[in-house]
Amino acid sequence: MDLPLIFMVLMGVSVLAYVVLDGYDLGVGMLMPAASAPEQSVMVSSIGPFWDANETWLVLGVGILLVAFPLAHGVVLGALYLPVVAMLVGLMFRGVAFELRMKAQGWHRELWNWLFWAGSFLASFSQGFMLGRYITGFEPGFGYLAFAAVVGASLCGGYVLLGATWLVLKTEGELQGKALAWSRWGLLWVALGVGLVSLATPMVSETVRAKWFDFPRTLALMALPAACLWAGFTVWRSTGSIARGGGARDWQPFAGAVAIFAIAFLGLAYSLYPYVVIDRLTIWEAAAHPSSLKVVLAGALVVLPFIAGYTAISYRVFRGKAKAGLYD
């Protein structure tokens, strides 16, 4: 077995699961200021049973990076120390604000709602900033930092899209109508962000440029942007249909948003492979000793089914429309 490749796949699946699952509740947090107090209660109820457990996938992904690719772990977290701290501060803000807003009254609740928004935005932007720095191999310079900031803003837009489409799925009435409008706005934000990042990425990374323009082998790669456009069109069409009372189902916009993220993730994986730190360490150079990987793989095969099973059961149990007052 090619153990480093197996662990790279496991880490990628964990990161993608985190981005999709925690992404929508981060998006809901960033949308909180745009809603009224009763609507905020429903929004919090829609993510309450899930948001804390969603972060398990982030812990799993970072844990795999640490134990399976220790050399890369040192390089990545060493280069991203400050944005990692900012992300953790944002996640802590969210956790504290989520709990204390339930006990606060009057303007104190408004304060905690704003801190919940601030924590969601800080965590989202930090994750995008880290992705931008990672793609460019942590190169110094203002241009690379500006590129990372654009990626950070784009990921915020992506999370808003996920959060809005999640609210389409979990809410009804006036709030669902607002979520439909937010979904279209978020989709336009994502389209702009993906376009800018796609133009800039080959300019800032020679490795990615070589991968993207290695004709004719990259002709098959054109299927990814085509599929991404189709997923975006699905989100736009289904939100319009739901707003008009048409035949689209409430789950279709969220499924389309998830498809956009999955396709973008596949494109990123293709662009970076076989590096775990671009232009520095391949997955085989950064991997731990095979004997260690075998032990860790045995543990992962035990733990992963429990995490996946708990996630599936929780979403099954708490399916249906969210109601106000569950976390007030």
Cα 93 to chain centroid, rounded: 18
* pLDDT number for residue 255: 94
* Residue 167 token pair: 């609210």
* Cβ–Cβ under 8 Å, residues 141 and 1: no
DSSP one-letter string for 220-267: GGGHHHHHHHHHHHHHHHHHHHHHTT-S--TTHHHHHHHHHHHHHHHH
Q: For position 187, what pLDDT does the model report?
A: 92
**256, 165 in Cβ contact below 8 A?**
yes
Per-residue pLDDT of the chain (328 residues; tens, 9 = 90+): 689 999 999 999 999 999 999 999 999 999 998 888 888 889 988 998 888 888 888 888 888 888 889 888 888 888 899 999 999 999 998 888 888 877 777 777 888 888 999 999 999 999 999 998 888 888 888 888 998 898 999 999 999 999 999 999 999 889 999 999 999 999 998 888 888 888 777 877 777 887 887 777 777 778 888 899 999 999 999 999 998 887 778 999 999 999 999 998 988 888 888 888 888 888 998 888 888 899 888 888 888 888 889 889 989 988 888 887 766 6
pTM of the predicted model, to two decimals?
A: 0.91
- Looking at residue 163, its pLDDT comes to 95
Distance from C-alpha of 155 to C-alpha of 133, rounded to nearest angstrom: 13
φ, ψ dihedrals at 282, nearest 5°: -80, 170
Q: Is residue 314 exposed (0-12), middle (13-18) or buried (19+ Cβ within 10 Å)? A: middle
Side chain identity at residue 84, one-letter code? V
DSSP E strand stretches across the chain: 275-277, 281-282
pLDDT at 327: 66
Structure tokens at 271: 């662009």
Cα separation, 129 vs 123, whole angstroms: 10
CA–CA distance, 107 with 115 (Å, rounded to integer): 12
Q: What is the DSSP letter of 318?
A: T
The pLDDT value recorded for residue 328 is 65
Please count the other Cβ atoms lying within 10 Å of the Cβ belonging to residue 96: 14
| Angle value at C-alpha 266, between 221 and 68, nearest 5 degrees | 135
* Helices (H), ranges, the chain: 3-31, 37-47, 51-54, 56-68, 70-79, 81-100, 107-135, 142-170, 173-204, 206-212, 223-243, 252-272, 283-286, 290-317
- With CA atoms as reference, report the closest residue to 51 among 95, 7, 15: 95
Nearest by Cα to 257 from 128, 174, 173, 160:
160
